[in-house]
Amino acid sequence: MADPRRAAVYVIRIWQEPSHLVPPGEWRGSLRPIDGSQSLLFKSAEELWRHLTGEATSPAGSTEADPDLINWCKGESA
């Protein structure tokens, strides 16, 4: 029998910050897990994807993305 699908739920906020250097502005975003853990900020869609897939690392070298989500994105079960 196939493993049940796993899901992770986030609130993603995207906004445009005005900029005189880069008109009309630069896009920014935040990724907040609904479990209340710390939000992650990002400056591009690529950076968001790195967080979701576990390619982003903190200065200490630990993955910032949810390990269960990483495994789910890779098609692996826990």
- Regarding predicted confidence, which is higher, 77 or 22? 22
Domain range for 33? 10-74
Per-residue pLDDT, 71: 54
pLDDT tens, 53-63? 876 554 333 34
Residue 52 included in any domain: yes
- Number of domains comprising the chain: 1
pLDDT above 60 for 65: no
In a domain? residue 1: no
DSSP 18-49: --SSSTT-EEEEEEEETTS---EEESSHHHHH
For 62, how many CA atoms within 13 A lie in the half-sphere containing its CB?
A: 4
Q: pTM score > 0.75 for this model? A: no
Q: Please report, in angstroms and rounded to a whole number, the separation of the first and last CA atoms in the chain.
A: 15
What is the rounded CA–CA span in Å between residue 47 and residue 55?
9
Residue 43 lies in a domain: yes
Residue 18 gets the label, from left (phi > 0), alpha (psi -120 to 50) or beta, of beta
3 found inside a domain: no
Q: State residue 26's pLDDT score.
A: 85
Task: With respect to residue 2, please indicate whether it lies within any of the assigned structural domains.
Answer: no
